[in-house]
């Protein structure tokens, strides 16, 4: 990575979401109101004041639609109703109104690469080969015998693709004698977006939700919807049973056409009001520029996955490796630079599919609180829209699962079965590989207090509560000014108050330092405008700058910057208790900047342009 990296100065605000912070709720694990052990909408409603106090602007709900719950709601059987597990449409209306009354927006998960196999569309599709909805999904006949013998990793399946949840990506239907495609679970058949009737039905459903007050969509694996219609075999890596189909269904040939059509039919009807983010595994910076360029009218931002694959051997989450900070800086810096002129970044450490941020990127032992705070500051002060995953604001950690029976995630259970039954690994080996990065780490219940089941439920929780809830919980933190929760409040407030954070340029510093993450943000403006005002010939321009420093280690570090003029700059944010800061009137000391273990320092200054 070239150093320094600098993005465009004084980039104008594109929309409200540039200042916004999004909070993700995984409903089944957030708050349970009725004692059945599963979180629900009324539980969320009971915590709206908590979210308002945190300061977030948008709440994103993982799926709450009617579902058999094979993949915890990402297998939808009715797009226009709420699953009874979570409540009713009336409950959702109350939640929407409650958010709006508090100045927050609601974003729903949109899962339209696939449906449940119990969705009426699929039930019709599989009823006969000549059903009008047969072509709403990907149906193919079995391979012939000659083709089967020539292709590794496939039997009679139409191609050799593997499912993301282990096993083949095809399921045979006895009634009609053909296979259907499912990139995920066999209960999640892929929709055929080549069929215009499918697209029209999806757009109608999206408009229906927006008419009910929803403010946008997080679009699940949306860059999978366009597939190479030839469905060719994929390469088979050593040690794998199936072929890699991703070259043929990630960022497929009609992706931009489909998203532009979606924008015309749905988003353009509510200009400037919505937030749209596309989850896009495998997306490149170059593709993301196209997806998020406002002139192309597709989506506001994308979720990319490069930084959350850096601690995996060859992108295999079941082969974890040590994360190198230099690689993290290289990846995130490249995305900052790539989307500087056009497009927009989304910023996240974790979500319902990732391990807990403080366990993965920080230190969840001695320095849990300090590292959780440092991670918050580093992330939120990048250029882009930050996402907070539930419990992250409390410094919640990964869970210890003692046996495979403790897990609930279909991805984990399928991998364990395949690895022990077909790949020759022992139970102990597989459990050790599963521990760091499994999705259930993020799905344990939110820890509200130190009572039984952490105040999440009065019943038996659907998945075990982390035992550390007795000291890591919201009740212990909300009134503690030095807590992780209240530090998140400070970071979010700083983002709202300082236009340099939302609109300023980004320059990566110290790219080769293995322990310190450092960057600056800068914004030029006219004196007194407090923002990125237009340059005026008769007034000298000021540049507001922030220097952000984070120590990603448990040892003290001295930071030598080429620009020594930061000595004496105002210290606006730090994660050590205020009494521990140098008694220099809130300014940085002269000479090398000293960072204590997992310390965050944010300095601010103004200079003449």
pLDDT, position 184: 96
pLDDT at 147 over 80: no
pLDDT, position 305: 96
Computed over every residue of the chain, the mean pLDDT equals 91
Tell me the β-bridge partners of 57. none
Give the residue carrying structure tokens 């006949």. Answer: 141
pLDDT band, very low/low/confident/very high, at 526 (cuts 50, 70, 90): low
Cα 144 from Cα 154, distance rounded (Å): 11
Helix extents (H) in 406-483: 410-421, 427-434, 474-477
pLDDT, position 2: 35
pLDDT, position 254: 98
> Measured between alpha carbons, how far is residue 103 from residues 16, 48, 100 in Å?
13, 11, 5
> Which long-range contacts (C-beta less than 8 Å, at least 24 apart) are formed by 194-203?
194/227, 194/229, 194/254, 195/135, 195/136, 197/136, 198/136, 199/258, 199/261, 199/262, 201/121, 202/112, 202/262, 203/261, 203/262, 203/265, 203/266
pLDDT, position 497: 94
Cα 508 from Cα 270, distance rounded (Å): 36
Cα 300 from Cα 12, distance rounded (Å): 15
pLDDT band, very low/low/confident/very high, at 137 (cuts 50, 70, 90): very high
Three-state SS at 579: helix
pLDDT, position 1: 35
Spot the catalytic one: 83, 220, 251, 440. Answer: 220
Pick the range with the lowest mean pLDDT from 59-73, 323-337, 567-581: 567-581
More confident residue, 376 or 422: 376
More confident residue, 385 or 238: 385
pLDDT, position 11: 37
pLDDT at 535 over 70: no
pLDDT at 304 over 60: yes
304: its two tokens: 């990319």
Look at residues 548, 499, 566 and name the one whose alpha carbon lies nearest to residue 526.
499
CB 385 within 8 A of CB 379: no
| Active site annotation includes 279 | yes
Mean pLDDT on 560-564: 83
Three-state SS at 18: helix
pLDDT at 578 over 70: no
More confident residue, 72 or 454: 454
Geometric angle at alpha carbon 99, from 95 and 100, rounded to 5°: 115
Cα 348 from Cα 304, distance rounded (Å): 10
Please give the span between the terminal C-alpha atoms of the chain, in angstroms, as a whole number: 27
Pick the range with the lowest mean pLDDT from 86-95, 146-155, 257-266: 146-155
Helix extents (H) in 62-217: 89-101, 120-125, 145-150, 196-211
Percentage of the residues of the chain whose pLDDT score is greater than 70: 91
More confident residue, 217 or 155: 217
> Measured between alpha carbons, how far is residue 213 from residues 46, 87, 89, 94, 114 in Å?
20, 17, 12, 11, 24
Spot the catalytic one: 109, 178, 190, 279. Answer: 279
57: its two tokens: 């602007």
| Active site annotation includes 369 | no
CB 350 within 8 A of CB 360: yes
Mean pLDDT on 179-189: 97
* Highest mean pLDDT (candidates 163-167, 310-314, 404-408, 511-515): 511-515
pLDDT at 574 over 70: yes
Cα 180 from Cα 163, distance rounded (Å): 12
Percentage of the residues of the chain whose pLDDT score is greater than 90: 78
Cα 68 from Cα 119, distance rounded (Å): 10
Mean pLDDT on 77-105: 98
pLDDT band, very low/low/confident/very high, at 14 (cuts 50, 70, 90): low
3-state helix/strand/coil string of 101-122:
HCCCEEEEEECCCECCCCCHHH
* Cα 3 to the center of its chain, rounded Å: 28
Give the CATH fold of the 505-608 domain: Immunoglobulin-like (2.60.40)
Tell me the β-bridge partners of 276. 217
pLDDT at 536 over 60: no
- DSSP string over 210-250: HHTT--EEEETTGGGSS--TT-------TT-SSB--HHHHS
Helix extents (H) in 315-409: 325-338, 357-360, 368-380
Cα 333 from Cα 434, distance rounded (Å): 29
Buried residues in 283-319 as b, exposed as e (16+ CB within 10 A): bebebbbbbbeeebebbbbbbbbbbbbbbbeeeebbe
> Measured between alpha carbons, how far is residue 275 from residues 18, 108, 241, 606 in Å?
10, 10, 40, 33
3-state helix/strand/coil string of 461-473:
CCCCCCHHHHCCC
pLDDT digits over 316-370, tens only? 888 999 999 999 999 999 999 999 989 999 999 999 999 999 999 999 999 999 9
> Measured between alpha carbons, how far is residue 384 from residues 8, 15, 195, 308, 335 in Å?
14, 12, 35, 17, 10
pLDDT at 586 over 80: no
Give the CATH fold of the 15-113+195-400+435-485 domain: TIM Barrel (3.20.20)
The residues spanned by each domain of the chain are 15-113+195-400+435-485, 120-181, 505-608
Mean pLDDT on 42-68: 98
pLDDT band, very low/low/confident/very high, at 579 (cuts 50, 70, 90): very low
pLDDT, position 8: 39
- Does the 120-181 domain belong in CATH 3.90.400.10? yes
């Amino acid at each position: 990575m070239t150093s320094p990296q600098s993005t465009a100065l004084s980039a104008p605000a594109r929309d409200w979401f540039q200042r916004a912070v999004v909070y993700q709720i995984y409903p089944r694990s957030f708050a349970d109101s009725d004692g059945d052990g599963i979180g629900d909408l009324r539980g969320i409603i009971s915590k709206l004041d908590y979210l308002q106090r945190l300061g977030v602007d948008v709440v994103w709900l993982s799926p709450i639609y009617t579902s058999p719950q094979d993949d915890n709601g990402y297998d939808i059987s009715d797009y226009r109703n709420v699953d009874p597990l979570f409540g009713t449409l009336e409950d959702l209306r109350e939640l929407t109104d409650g958010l709006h009354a508090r100045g927050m927006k609601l974003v729903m998960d949109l899962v339209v690469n696939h449906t449940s196999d119990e969705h009426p569309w699929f039930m019709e599709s599989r009823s006969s080969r000549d059903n009008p909805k047969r072509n709403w999904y990907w149906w193919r006949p079995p391979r012939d015998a000659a083709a089967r013998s020539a292709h590794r990793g496939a039997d009679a399946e139409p191609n050799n693709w593997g499912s993301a949840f282990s096993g083949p990506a095809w399921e045979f239907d006895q009634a009609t004698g053909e296979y259907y495609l499912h990139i995920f679970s066999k209960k999640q058949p892929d929709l055929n977006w080549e069929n215009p009737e499918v697209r029209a039905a999806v757009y109608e459903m999206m408009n229906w939700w927006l008419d009910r007050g929803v403010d946008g969509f997080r679009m699940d694996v949306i860059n999978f919807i366009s597939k190479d219609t030839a469905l060719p075999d994929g390469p088979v890596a050593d040690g794998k049973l199936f072929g890699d189909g991703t070259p043929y269904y990630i960022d497929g040939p009609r992706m931009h056409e489909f998203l532009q059509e979606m924008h015309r039919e749905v988003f353009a009807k509510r200009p400037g009001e919505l937030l749209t983010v596309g989850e896009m595994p495998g997306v490149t910076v170059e593709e993301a520029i196209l997806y998020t360029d406002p002139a192309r009218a597709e989506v506001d931002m994308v979720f990319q996955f490069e930084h959350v694959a850096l601690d995996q051997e060859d992108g295999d989450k079941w082969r974890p490796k040590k994360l190198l900070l230099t690689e993290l800086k290289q990846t995130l810096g490249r995305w900052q630079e790539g989307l500087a002129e056009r497009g927009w970044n989304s910023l996240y450490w974790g979500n319902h599919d990732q391990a807990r941020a403080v366990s993965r990127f920080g230190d969840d032992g001695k320095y849990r609180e300090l590292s959780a705070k440092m991670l918050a500051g580093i992330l939120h002060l990048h250029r882009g829209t930050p996402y907070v995953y539930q419990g992250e604001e409390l410094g919640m950690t990964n869970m210890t699962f003692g046996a495979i029976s403790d897990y609930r995630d279909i991805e984990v259970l399928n991998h364990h079965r395949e690895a022990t039954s077909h790949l020759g690994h022992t139970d102990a080996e597989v459990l050790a590989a599963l521990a760091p990065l499994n999705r259930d780490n993020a799905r344990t219940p939110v820890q509200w207090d130190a009572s039984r089941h952490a105040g999440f439920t009065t019943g038996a929780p659907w998945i075990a509560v982390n035992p550390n809830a007795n000291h890591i919980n919201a009740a212990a933190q909300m009134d503690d000014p030095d807590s992780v929760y209240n530090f998140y409040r400070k970071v979010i407030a700083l983002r709202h108050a300082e236009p340099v954070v939302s609109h300023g340029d980004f320059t990566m510093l110290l790219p080769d330092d293995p322990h310190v993450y450092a960057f600056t943000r800068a914004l030029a403006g006219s004196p007194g405008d407090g923002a990125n005002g237009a340059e005026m010939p008769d007034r000298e321009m000021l540049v507001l700058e922030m220097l952000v420093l984070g120590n990603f280690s448990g040892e003290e570090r001295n930071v030598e910057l080429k620009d020594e003029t930061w000595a004496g700059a105002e210290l606006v944010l730090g994660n050590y208790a205020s009494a521990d800061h140098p008694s220099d009137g809130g300014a940085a000391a002269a000479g090398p900047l000293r960072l204590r273990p997992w310390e965050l320092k944010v300095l601010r200054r103004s200079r003449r342009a």
